[in-house]
């Protein structure tokens, strides 16, 4: 590793290699460390947690289906990043219980008030993620920009996926207080196909009825008619990944929800689908999605230009959270999505990120939202 280098990529998982990488980053001046690991590396709590607990410096990160590094999507490897600033890192536990989230955030008020911006990493498979996002917005309001994404495994089996000073944990959120501002752009590229529909019955992330009819039968009829494919003959997600749902917001934008499986006549989505919401069936094409990723990067850069009053900012870091379902949709064309982001950010000194299970960001109006199937680009 070169002198002063701020990141190390480990091709293979190994405690000694990880410990050595962190030690080198500390010698180069790192006061906080982020770890982005691929699920294929098989990190285990019994071996990794003792190391994380012994570091004595702020550490945060997660296990993701894939990561972005060196202009590529990687399904193996671990990226270790050192920062010259000391970041306050806090854990909000037991997200699925919901009730205790507000109390925990109230206890973090001094840290949240000091933060110039926040990165949040969550267990993407926890229930009540919307409760966490809503309570976080109540705690920080519009004064603090929030960005982040969901960690977890592509098989959707819950297990420890967040990396912290307390070890590998699950059903939790990490809050990382950054001393600097963050400029972000968010886009998805999915377009309206059918609707509107009224959500007449739902429970959390389970969509039960649309227009007083069974949700799956309604969805099935529309999707099979448009696609010419049959849910009887193909895996559910193989078809549904092309046809997400969109909740219409006040500003006319769509909050995308990803149907990941069918249970009886219901649809299980990543993210809550509120009762009485207005819902649309969406569809995407590869060129549109790729262009939207470039637009997210351009929007982040434009925000940075306005905030810093610089016509061509340089030397910044780009942190990307891109939904893993976009990879499953785009397949090999996902490389074009990464290139579109890079092309829009000629002044970026570093660009890395993760393929996430859900994305979290402050909207244009300041409200913090949980999104699916979206590209989030953050600059700092």
Structure tokens at 275: 């009762």
Task: State what percent of residues in the chain have pLDDT above 90.
Answer: 89
Residue 270: domain span: 191-283
What pLDDT digit, counting tens, does each position of 20-76 carry? 999 999 999 999 999 999 999 989 999 999 999 999 999 999 999 999 999 999 999
What pLDDT digit, counting tens, does each position of 135-153 carry? 999 999 999 999 999 999 9
Same domain membership, residue 121 and residue 11: yes
User: Which of 283, 304, 330 is the last residue in one of the domains?
Assistant: 283
CA distance 196 to 264: 23
Q: In the prediction, which pLDDT does 2 show?
A: 41
Q: In the prediction, which pLDDT does 127 show?
A: 85
- What is the dihedral sign for C-alpha 317, 49, 89, 186? positive
DSSP assignment of 119-150 equals EEEEETT-S-HHHHHHHHHHHHTTSSEEEEEE
Same domain membership, residue 136 and residue 213: no
Same domain membership, residue 177 and residue 314: yes
Total residues found in the chain within this entry: 380
Q: 3 pLDDT exceeds 50? A: no
Same domain membership, residue 326 and residue 268: no
Q: In the prediction, which pLDDT does 366 show?
A: 87
Same domain membership, residue 149 and residue 2: yes
CA distance 348 to 255: 28
HSE-CB of 110 using CA atoms within 13 angstroms = 2
What pLDDT digit, counting tens, does each position of 114-133 carry? 999 999 999 999 988 999 99
Burial of residue 230 (number of CB atoms within 10 Å: 0-12, 13-18, 19+)? exposed
What's the mean per-residue pLDDT of the chain? 95
Same domain membership, residue 312 and residue 261: no
Same domain membership, residue 176 and residue 106: yes
User: Which of 248, 266, 283 is the last residue in one of the domains?
Assistant: 283
Q: What is the DSSP letter of 197?
A: E
Distances from the Cα of 199 to the Cα of 131, 213, 218, angstroms: 19, 10, 12
Q: In the prediction, which pLDDT does 343 show?
A: 98
Same domain membership, residue 288 and residue 179: yes
Q: 82 pLDDT exceeds 90? A: yes
Q: How many structural domains are present in the chain?
A: 2
User: Which of 230, 251, 283 is the last residue in one of the domains?
Assistant: 283
CA distance 303 to 245: 28
H or E element that contains 351: strand 348-356
CA distance 317 to 201: 43
Q: How confident is the model at residue 5 (pLDDT cuts 50, 70, 90)?
A: low
Residue with tokens 């960690």: 151
Same domain membership, residue 212 and residue 68: no
Same domain membership, residue 48 and residue 70: yes
Same domain membership, residue 58 and residue 32: yes
Same domain membership, residue 76 and residue 175: yes
Task: Read off the pTM.
Answer: 0.93
Residue with tokens 């990067």: 297
Q: How confident is the model at residue 4 (pLDDT cuts 50, 70, 90)?
A: very low
Quick one: three-class SS letters along 318-338? EEEEEEHHHHHHHHHHHHHHH
SS3 362: strand
């Amino acid at each position: 590793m070169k002198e002063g280098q701020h990141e190390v990529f480990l091709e293979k998982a190994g405690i000694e290699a990880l410990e050595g990488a962190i030690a080198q980053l500390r010698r180069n001046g790192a006061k906080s460390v982020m770890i982005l690991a691929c699920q294929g590396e098989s990190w285990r709590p019994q071996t990794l947690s003792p190391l994380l607990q012994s570091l004595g410096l702020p550490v945060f990160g997660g296990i993701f289906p894939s990561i972005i590094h060196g202009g590529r999507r990687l399904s193996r490897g671990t990226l270790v990043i050192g920062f010259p600033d000391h970041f306050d890192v806090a854990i909000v536990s037991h997200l699925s219980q919901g009730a205790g989230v507000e109390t925990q955030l109230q206890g973090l008020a001094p840290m949240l008030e000091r933060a110039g911006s926040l990165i949040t990493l969550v267990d993407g498979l926890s229930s009540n993620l919307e409760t966490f996002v809503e309570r976080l917005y109540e705690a920080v309001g519009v004064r603090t920009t929030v960005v982040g994404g969901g960690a977890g495994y592509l098989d959707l089996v819950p297990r420890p996926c967040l990396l912290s000073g307390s070890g590998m944990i699950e059903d939790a959120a990490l809050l990382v207080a950054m001393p600097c501002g963050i400029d972000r752009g968010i886009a998805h590229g999915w377009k309206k196909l059918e609707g509107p529909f009224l959500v007449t019955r739902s429970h959390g992330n389970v969509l039960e009825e649309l227009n007083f009819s069974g949700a799956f039968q309604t969805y099935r009829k529309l999707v099979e008619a448009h696609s010419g494919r049959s849910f009887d003959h193909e895996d559910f997600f193989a078809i549904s990944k092309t046809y997400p749902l969109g909740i219409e917001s006040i500003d006319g934008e769509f909050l995308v929800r990803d149907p990941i499986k069918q249970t009886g006549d219901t649809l299980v989505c990543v993210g809550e689908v509120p009762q009485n919401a207005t819902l649309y069936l969406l569809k995407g094409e590869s060129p549109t999605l790729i262009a939207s990723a470039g637009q997210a990067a351009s929007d982040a850069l434009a925000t940075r230009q306005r905030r810093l009053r610089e016509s061509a900012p340089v030397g910044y870091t780009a942190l990307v959270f891109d939904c893993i379902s976009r990879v499953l949709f785009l397949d090999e064309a996902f490389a074009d999505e990464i290139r579109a982001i890079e092309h829009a950010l000629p002044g970026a000194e570093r660009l890395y990120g993760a393929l996430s299970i859900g994305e979290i960001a402050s909207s244009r109006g300041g409200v913090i939202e949980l999104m699916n199937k979206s590209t989030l680009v953050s600059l700092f």
